């Protein structure tokens, strides 16, 4: 770190120009990144096998359909000559206005499964052209408008699962990454202005924006490396932008804070830069390694979307570290003192009086503090045991709006809500399709089945597609036995697919590998922390507390999204009744790595002070007093970044962002500022125990016997730790 600081300050012009070029390239590349990302995920399972066959011959027919509900005028039925003409005209108009869509309708197929109660209504199922597409709000609006124009006498409503998922926002889609990035940056700027009270507040934000643009370049390049069978998901761009913003600011905040502290101690600017990189830089580098490995460990999950995010996540902390340890010291060495203006006298002392008092309070009441902290986390973790991992039901998403009205009209006409997750059934031989339809029409868990006919549904391999309409939504917690019944009854080598079927495959694949993810991350983190902290007890405590912190975050997720506490106030919708299948896995990967930043920031400072004073108590007080404001500020900044991401009209992104935001705050306040000092104080000398055998395994040199910390330290140290004052 000393050599790095020396090289950067001597070559700061070269460093600055290099990052300027990278930033310009990032600005040029970032707008093109979204076009290189593809939605969807790939896992092994019967649903994925069926969807692969369907996609090869019928494009996006494996997706959940858009549904048009057509009601006849009073006194007429779908068998009335005029209504028949209207239905045929709607099919013709849809073919002209949206030629890429594949449509299943009563006018084309004549299947009674598409006819409502008293034959006064019918439905049209519309499928997107590509397997990676879905029928969302924009498509439903276009289809509805075209149908109304073609048949003004009919009452037309439109809805789809994805339209309800988007929150009934007409014409809405996924929120802009740029708008959310700006929102997160503005929130971060307010916190930084409070922390520094000078123009230094701009420096971490500038470093973060450069980091995010650099990450966009790396992800863009990665899209050319990953196989086309496992493309990177659009969620990557959200996560890289917002999490990158928060982490970059965290790392820059640590370096700038330490630089300012060294300046306060009377060191020259160059000496302060060198000291900041040596001390804070080591913590930043170490945190970045731990966070990167926590994210990269997601590749053990056999799900292409999760693996893609894990690989991409490897670039988030590493890029933030690179900027914080090269560009930031170069700028501080040149204009740091000029940026530290105006400098309020109350900010001159690096040790916060509040956090000094807080650390003494926690040490004095360490047993009570530990009980309160563990009790709170334990209660939330207990709530997490009731987690229901599934797709949200339509009723849970439907609060009010255009697409909710469409769902209610659909059900009023006698069609089940499962229509929105109609199951496509691939039949290898077209001649068997009528038999498959007849067999499925007798299944009680289905409303009926219809064969997709017409030029758009003729496959070169001689296959056919049958659409089965389940009574309840496949993939949700109320999905029932519809999918299993289809696979049992259909026969003839038929394959049942659809979004719901693949969602079930994803859940099984993801959580079948979840114990392995836990084990890999815990083991690697423990070894890294044991080497960095020169202790066995501290890393064990850190890993266990992190596991408990993640479990508590799942509890918050359950309370909010599964039970609906605060959902209406925050997002204007009701409870989802379930947790998205990808949210817990991704939250674990991100939160476990990110929360280790705070652990390293605090423990590194405690260890530094302990080495200086040989007093655990003094190490806690100095460590918390000098990092308390830093950690809470960093957590608030990351909270702003993630909270802005939670406004996205995507259930998965929303749950991940909200879960991470709550987890970061919970971890920083309860775990790091309450439990960490309380437990370190309780463990006393045991914190620094490192047997010789473990020291050799970790490749650490032996300490002199006189200074070797451990349980056999002189008794006066134990008394000092136990002293309330």
**CB within 8 Å of 417: residues ≥ 6 apart:** 393, 394, 395, 407, 410, 411, 472, 473
Stretch 100-108: mean pLDDT, rounded? Answer: 90
Distance of CA 672 to the CA centre of its chain: 22
Residues ≥6 apart with Cβ < 8 Å to 157:
68, 69, 71, 144, 405, 406, 409, 410
- Both 274 and 329 in a single domain? yes
Asked whether residue 504 is assigned to any structural domain, the reply reads: no
Cβ neighbours of residue 122 closer than 8 Å, sequence gap 6 or more: 70, 78, 87, 105, 106, 114, 115, 116
Secondary structure (DSSP) of 432-481: GHHHHHHHHTT-TTEEEEEE--SGGG--TTS-EEEEEEESS-TTBTT-TT
707 band by pLDDT with thresholds 50, 70 and 90 = very low
Average pLDDT over the chain, rounded to an integer:
85
Tokens in use for 166?
Answer: 């988007």
Residues 471-480: what's their mean pLDDT? 84
Does 189 fall in a domain? no
Assess whether pLDDT exceeds 90 at residue 534: no
Q: Please state whether the peptide bond connecting residue 499 to the residue before it is cis, i.e. omega within 30 degrees of 0.
A: no
Please say if the pLDDT value at position 361 is more than 90.
yes
For residue 174, the model assigns a pLDDT of 43
In order, the DSSP letters of 180-199 are HHHHHHHHHHHHHHHHHSSG
- Give yes or no: residues 115 and 78 share one domain: yes
Say whether both 567 and 673 belong to one domain. yes
Confirm if 48 and 42 have CB atoms less than 8 A apart. Answer: yes
* Distance (Å, whole) CA 412 – CA 416: 9
Tell me the pLDDT band of 228, cut-offs 50, 70 and 90.
Answer: low
pLDDT of 344 reads: 57
Query: According to the model, what pLDDT value does residue 343 have?
Result: 65
Model pLDDT, residue 652: 78
Q: Mean pLDDT, to the nearest integer, of 204-213?
A: 91
H/E element holding 426? strand 423-427
- CA–CA gap between residue 624 and residue 673 (Å, rounded): 8
Whole-number Å distance between alpha carbons of 497 and 45: 10
Flag whether pLDDT at 152 surpasses 70. Answer: yes
Say yes or no: 2 and 132 in one domain: no
- For 109, phi and psi rounded to 5 degrees? -105, -30
DSSP string, 558-608: IIIIIT-TTHHHHHS----SSB-TTHHHHHHHHHHHHHHHHHHHHHHHHHH
Region of poorest pLDDT, from 476-485, 668-677, 695-704:
695-704
Last residue of a domain, one of 344, 371, 405: 344
Specify the pTM.
0.81
Considering the domain architecture, whether residues 376 and 522 belong to the same structural domain is answered as yes
66, 30: one domain: no
- Describe the crossing of helices 616-645 and 583-613 by its angle, rounded to 10 degrees: 150
Instruction: Find the mean pLDDT for residues 232-239.
Output: 76
Is the model's pLDDT at 651 over the cut of 50?
yes
What is the Cα–Cα distance from 575 to 216, expressed in whole angstroms?
A: 34
SS3 16: helix
Instruction: Give dist(CA 135, CA 148) in Å, integer.
Output: 18
Q: Are residues 259 and 378 in the same domain?
A: no
pLDDT at 519 over 70: yes
pLDDT at residue 429 in the model: 93
Look at 52-56, 395-399, 499-503, 714-718 and tell me which has the smallest mean pLDDT: 714-718
The total number of structural domains in the chain stands at 3
Gap between the Cα atoms of 215 and 226, Å rounded: 16
Is the pLDDT score of 401 beyond 50?
Answer: yes
Residue matched to tokens 């996560």: 239
Mean local confidence (pLDDT), 118-141:
88
pLDDT score of 179 more than 70: no
Give the dihedral sign, CA 447/451/452/453: negative
Q: What is the pLDDT of residue 604?
A: 83
Assigned token pair, 177: 């990454």
DSSP string, 285-303: HHHHHHHHHHHHGGGGSS-
- CA distance linking residue 505 with residue 1, whole number of Å: 47
Give me the DSSP letters along 91-144.
HHHHHHH-TT-EEEEHHHH--GGGB-GGG-EEEEEEE-SSTT----HHHHHHHH
Q: Which residue would you say has higher pLDDT here, 675 or 97?
A: 675
Same-domain pairing of 541 and 666: yes
- Mark whether 330 and 304 lie in a shared domain: yes
- In CATH, what number is assigned to the domain containing residue 594? 1.20.1640.10
Alpha carbon distance 111, 449 (integer Å): 8
Q: Is residue 721 part of a domain?
A: no
Residues 695 and 571 in one domain: yes
In a domain, 649, yes or no: yes
Domain that holds residue 91: 46-170+397-471
pLDDT given at position 724? 31
CA neighbor of 548 nearest in space, from 679, 687, 716, 645: 679
Q: Look-up: residue for tokens 């149908």?
A: 147
Residue 249 lies in a domain: yes
Q: How far apart are CA 124 and CA 133, in angstroms?
A: 18
Backbone torsions φ then ψ of 469, nearest 5 degrees: -105, 105
Query: Which of 471, 488, 522 is the endpoint of a domain?
Result: 471
CA distance linking residue 108 with residue 102, whole number of Å:
12
Which of 14-28, 331-345, 607-621 is predicted least confidently? 331-345
In-domain check, residue 288 = yes
Q: Is the separation of the CB atoms in 671 and 595 below 8 Å?
A: yes
Compute the distance between CA of residue 75 and CA of residue 328 in angstroms, rounded to an integer: 76
Is residue 164 situated within a structural domain?
yes
Count of Cβ atoms closer than 10 Å to residue 256 Cβ = 29
Query: What backbone phi and psi angles, to 5 degrees, belong to 691?
Result: -60, 155
Residue 592 pLDDT greater than 70, yes or no = yes
* Percent of the residues in the chain that have a pLDDT greater than 70, as a whole number: 91
Same domain, 322 and 231: yes
Same structural domain, 389 and 529: yes
466 beta partners: 425, 451
Q: Is residue 235 part of a domain?
A: yes
């Amino acid at each position: 770190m000393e050599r790095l600081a020396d090289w950067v300050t001597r070559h700061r012009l070269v460093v600055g120009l290099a990052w300027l070029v990278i930033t310009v390239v990032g600005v040029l590349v970032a707008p093109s990144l979204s076009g290189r990302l593809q939605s969807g995920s790939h896992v092994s399972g019967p649903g994925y096998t069926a969807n692969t066959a369907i996609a090869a011959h019928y494009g996006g027919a494996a997706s959940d359909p858009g549904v048009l509900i057509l009601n006849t005028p009073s006194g007429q039925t779908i068998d009335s000559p005029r209504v028949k003409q209207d239905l045929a005209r709607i099919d013709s108009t849809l073919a002209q206005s949206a030629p890429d869509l594949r449509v299943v309708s009563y006018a084309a197929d004549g299947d009674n499964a598409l006819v409502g109660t008293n034959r006064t209504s019918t439905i049209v199922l519309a499928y997107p052209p590509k397997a990676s597409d879905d029928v969302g709000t924009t498509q439903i609006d276009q289809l509805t408008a075209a149908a109304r124009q073609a048949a003004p006498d009919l009452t037309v409503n439109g809805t789809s699962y994805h339209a309800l998922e988007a929150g009934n926002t007409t014409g809405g889609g996924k929120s802009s990454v740029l708008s959310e990035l700006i929102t997160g940056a503005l929130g971060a700027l307010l916190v930084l202005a409070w922390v520094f009270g000078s123009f230094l507040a701009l420096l971490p934000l500038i470093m973060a924006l450069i980091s995010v643009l650099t990450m966009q370049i790396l992800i863009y390049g990665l899209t050319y490396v990953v196989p086309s069978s496992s493309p990177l998901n659009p969620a990557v761009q959200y996560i890289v932008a917002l999490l990158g913003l928060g982490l970059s600011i965290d790392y820059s905040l640590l370096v700038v804070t330490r630089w300012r502290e060294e300046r306060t101690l009377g060191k020259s600017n160059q000496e302060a830069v060198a000291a900041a990189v040596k001390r804070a830089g080591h913590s930043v580098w170490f945190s970045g390694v731990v966070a990167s490995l926590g994210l990269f460990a997601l590749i053990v999950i056999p799900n292409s979307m999760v693996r893609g995010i894990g690989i991409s996540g490897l670039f988030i902390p590493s890029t933030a570290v690179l900027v914080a340890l090269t560009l930031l010291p170069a700028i501080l060495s040149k204009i740091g003192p000029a940026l530290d203006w105006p400098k309020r006298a109350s900010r001159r002392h690096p040790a916060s009086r509040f956090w000094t008092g807080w650390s003494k309070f926690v040490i004095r009441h360490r047993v009570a503090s530990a009980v309160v902290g563990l009790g709170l986390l334990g209660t939330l973790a207990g709530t997490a045991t009731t987690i229901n991992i599934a797709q949200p039901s339509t009723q849970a998403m439907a609060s009010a709006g255009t697409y909710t009205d469409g769902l209610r009209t659909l059900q009023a006409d006698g069609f089940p809500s499962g229509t929105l997750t109609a199951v496509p059934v691939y039949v290898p031989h077209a001649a068997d399709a009528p038999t498959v339809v007849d067999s499925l029409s007798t299944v009680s868990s289905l409303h009926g089945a219809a064969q997709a006919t017409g030029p758009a549904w003729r496959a070169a391999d001689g296959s056919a597609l049958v659409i089965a309409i389940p009574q309840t939504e496949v993939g949700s917690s109320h999905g029932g036995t519809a999918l299993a019944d289809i696979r049992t009854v259909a026969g003839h080598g038929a394959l049942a697919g659809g979004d719901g079927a693949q969602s079930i495959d994803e859940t099984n694949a993801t959580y079948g590998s979840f114990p392995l993810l836990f084990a890999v991350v815990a083991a690697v983190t423990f070894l890294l922390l044991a080497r960095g902290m020169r202790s066995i007890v501290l890393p064990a405590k850190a890993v266990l507390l992190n596991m408990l912190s993640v479990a508590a975050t799942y509890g918050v997720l359950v309370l909010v999204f599964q039970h609906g506490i605060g959902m209406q106030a925050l997002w204007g919708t009701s409870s989802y009744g379930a947790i998205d299948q990808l949210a817990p896995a991704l939250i674990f990967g991100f939160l476990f790595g990110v929360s280790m930043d705070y652990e390293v920031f605090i423990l590194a400072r405690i260890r530094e002070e302990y080495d200086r004073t040989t007093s655990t108590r003094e190490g806690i007080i100095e460590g918390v007093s000098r990092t308390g404001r830093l950690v809470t500020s960093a957590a608030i900044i990351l909270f702003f970044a993630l909270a802005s991401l939670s406004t996205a009209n995507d259930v998965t992104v929303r749950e991940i962002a909200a879960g991470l935001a709550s987890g970061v705050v919970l971890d920083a306040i309860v775990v790091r500022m309450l439990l960490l000092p309380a437990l370190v104080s309780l463990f006393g000398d045991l914190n620094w125990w490192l047997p010789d055998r473990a020291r050799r395994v970790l490749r650490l040199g032996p300490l002199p016997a006189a200074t070797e910390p451990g349980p056999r330290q002189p008794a006066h140290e134990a008394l000092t730790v136990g002293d309330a004052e």
